[in-house]
Amino acid sequence: MERLEDFDITCVLAENPGPFTLDGSNSWLIGRDPCWIVDPGPPIDSHLDRLAGEAAVRGGVGGIAITHDHADHSGGLEGLLERVGDVPVGAAAVSRASELLADGDDFGPLTAIATPGHAPDHLAFLAGEALFTGDAVLGHGSVYISPDENALAGYLNALDRLIALELNLLCPGHGGPIFGDEARARLIEYRDHRLDRERMLIEALEGGARSSDEMLAHAWGDVPAILKPAAEATLAAHIDKLAAEGRLPAGAQRPDIGEYGGL
């Protein structure tokens, strides 16, 4: 059975478990002399101490890549830099980033792949046959989609691009790594899950549902109450996609999600 060690990758798990973060946030280290870090994680001193210690064992840090600017992935950046020194920071939109990355850009051994959906600035990072997915794909469960412009269409397009890659390992932002053929299978599962939600939403609309509560009950009825705000945000993204495609019936209510930003 393949292991992370076979890819010269290590995971440092933050102690921030929860309904959105699963067992906690993953910070990934790849290579050595120097190593590169994907996502410093939350600003928890014990986590940053362990991460810096592991990096020292690997010969120091060449750079820090950030998948997206949510606190559970990027919040520990300043604290980590205090521990490892002033190294390059690559991201699509983080105020402390020294290199702003876009789709296809190289950053050390990593190649950035735009994966909007969960966040407009979201990047995945490819290193050989390993893909660091951030919150685009988790070790288990699903992710919410932030209702930004073209968010859901962009997310589905990104998943199709990832499915086409030759991958042997997924390193998600939360949950355990996924090896071998299961990596591509998980990506397909995520795409099909999102399309299935769309199918159920259309089914609800065709049945006369127009309020957001009716649509949620039909298409997201299996979601626990604590995750309802995330389901509402995702519903809004689905509604936006149908509207952009001219497939949204008149009178369909888009959830008022306010300033919900999720994790």
Active site (catalytic) residues: 72
Q: Which two tokens stand for residue 119?
A: 């966040």
Gap between the Cα atoms of 14 and 51, Å rounded:
9
Helices 228-244, 151-163: axis angle to 10 degrees equals: 90
Q: Is 189 exposed, middle or buried (0-12, 13-18, 19+ CB in 10 A)?
A: middle
- For 210, other C-beta atoms within 10 Å of its C-beta total 13
Q: Which two tokens stand for residue 162?
A: 């990832």
Strands ordered across the beta sheet of 61-65: 9-13, 26-30, 35-38, 61-65, 89-91, 99-100
Identify the CA nearest to 174 among candidates 35, 102, 72, 252: 72
The H or E element spanning position 198 is helix 181-206
Q: Which two tokens stand for residue 92?
A: 């699509």
